[in-house]
Amino acid sequence: MAETRTSTLHTTPVGDDGEPVVFLHGLFGRGKNFTRIAKDLRPDFRSLLVDLPNHGRSAWTDRVDYAQMADSVAETLRDDFAAAGPVAVVGHSLGGKVAMVLALRHPELVSRLVVVDISPTRTGGGEGEFAHLLDSLAAVDLSALERRSDADEALKESIPWDTTRSFLLQNLRSGEDGFSWEPNLELLRTSLDAIGGFPDTGDAVYEGPVLWIAGGRSDYVRDEHAPVMRGLFPRAHRVTIREAGHWVHSQAPEKFAEVLRGFLAHTGD
């Protein structure tokens, strides 16, 4: 997979043929988190995996702002992947909010939208957990690391869950000057209130088809969120993958890919 940097965003294409699909990851993530799903969609779909600002190999910014992030994605898509016309956009969690704002601000770029386990509302309950994870990463003495496994060992006490540590350690980069974290940990830590919110989008409404996927073991999508969701996205259809939690695409990848493929291939409402 060739990797490119268009504008300020780092992107990775997967597949050469088929209808275009863009993937936007969640907090602590990177575009490559969707590699398995993108590969499962071949050869009918070609994908673009995007590193959002302050994540992966994309540029850091001085603030976290959903409109700014959506506009950065729009600029990237106009320059290349969506130059020939609108594309399907899939966003999880933080990336789901960016995807929704993208569709509301730049509807001409989005042919259909998939929002994964997040709502266009204030996200409650997760700030404490996210603050703990960010503080734990920031506390690692990077200058003392000789290998990646040293970081894993350093995090075991504060983050005892193997799968969570493995996911977070994907953000640890080794270079000539030693190890560094790819995400902008300090900015993300001080911006958790903004990350948990959802911006005022005025009177904007996205009229295209929307698939709203919830994890059955997650509480980020609730019945009381439905009126707000359908006010902004009147053609939203909700599906719950019961065996999954918040990280639907990694906890139930086969079912997620099946549901996603069915929606992307559907030509009607």
> Domain spans of the chain?
4-123+197-265, 127-190
Of the candidates 58, 93, 111, 218, the residue annotated as catalytic is 93
**b/e sequence 188-209, b meaning 16+ C-beta within 10 Å:** beebbeebbebbebeeeebebb
* 171 in Cβ contact with 138 (< 8 Å): no
Of the candidates 10, 106, 246, 249, the residue annotated as catalytic is 246
Q: Is 246 a catalytic residue?
A: yes
Fold of 4-123+197-265: Rossmann fold (3.40.50)
160-171 pLDDT, tens digit each: 989 889 989 999
pLDDT value for 267: 65
Q: Is 186 a catalytic residue?
A: yes
pLDDT value for 125: 55
* 19 in Cβ contact with 44 (< 8 Å): yes
Angstrom distance (rounded) from CA 123 to CA 119: 8
Lowest mean pLDDT among 12-16, 52-56, 186-190, 264-268: 264-268
* DSSP secondary structure letter of residue 202: T
Of the candidates 186, 207, 254, 258, the residue annotated as catalytic is 186
C-alpha neighbours within 13 Å on the C-beta side of residue 92: 26
Pairing label, strands 172-175, 110-116 = unpaired
Q: Tell me the CA end-to-end span of the chain in Å, nearest whole number.
A: 33
Q: Counting beta carbons within 10 angstroms of the beta carbon of residue 83, is it exposed (0 to 12), middle (13 to 18) or buried (19 or more)?
A: exposed
Angstrom distance (rounded) from CA 57 to CA 30: 8
- Per-residue pLDDT for 1 more than 80? no
> What's the pLDDT band for 269 if we cut at 50, 70, 90?
low
pLDDT value for 6: 45
Q: Is 92 a catalytic residue?
A: no
pLDDT value for 8: 76
Q: What is the largest CA-CA distance in the chain?
A: 56
* 50 in Cβ contact with 75 (< 8 Å): no
pLDDT value for 132: 93
217-226 pLDDT, tens digit each: 999 999 999 9
181-217 pLDDT, tens digit each: 999 999 999 999 999 999 999 999 999 999 999 999 9
Instruction: Output the pTM of the full model.
Output: 0.93
Residue 40 identity: D
H-only helix segments in 80-157: 94-105, 127-138, 148-155
Angstrom distance (rounded) from CA 54 to CA 62: 9
